[in-house]
Amino acid sequence: MADNQFKPGNQFWKMRTKHGVDAMIQSPHVLYESCVEYFEWIEANPMVEEKVGFSKGKTCRANVYHPRAMTIKGISSYLGITDKTWYDWRKNREDLIGVIDWAEQIIWEQKFSNAAAGLLNANIISRELGLADKQIHDVAVPQMVVNPPSGPAPEEPPIHGE
């Protein structure tokens, strides 16, 4: 990978596969090919972090490459659609369900594997994947019942100073 292909900042929004009305997916094959393009783009364009250190009195710089997390919002942006359209296709486009299931499985596995290996923030990814360690604390507190006294209230002594 040549370092000159990495620009500062996140330029992902520029990577749409198509523009305009023809961006709508017409067949499962077109969706499959577009998903594969997205997955290849993700692999070929990791996030770049510049690390600065010092050795023998000199400044040393090195690029550290971090994988991008695949997401539904990311693949939707890449396809030139909204994530709402992706989810609508999931519900209403029976012809695309197989490819959508496959793509979501790839996205889930990529995030899980990279988080498990420490390459992505495990806390963020586990929450997104629904794997967060949920702890429910159920504390049993006995009910306390207070009954009012029966009969007339006893006469209380006067408060000092009355």
pTM of the model: 0.64
| Distance from C-alpha of 100 to C-alpha of 123, rounded to nearest angstrom | 26
How does pLDDT run across 27-40, given as a tens digit for each residue? 999 999 999 999 99
How does pLDDT run across 77-97, given as a tens digit for each residue? 999 999 999 999 999 999 999
Q: What average pLDDT does the chain have? A: 81
The domains of the chain are located at 10-128
The CATH fold of domain 10-128 = Topoisomerase I; Chain A, domain 4 (1.10.132)
Asked if pLDDT for residue 136 goes beyond 60, the answer is: yes
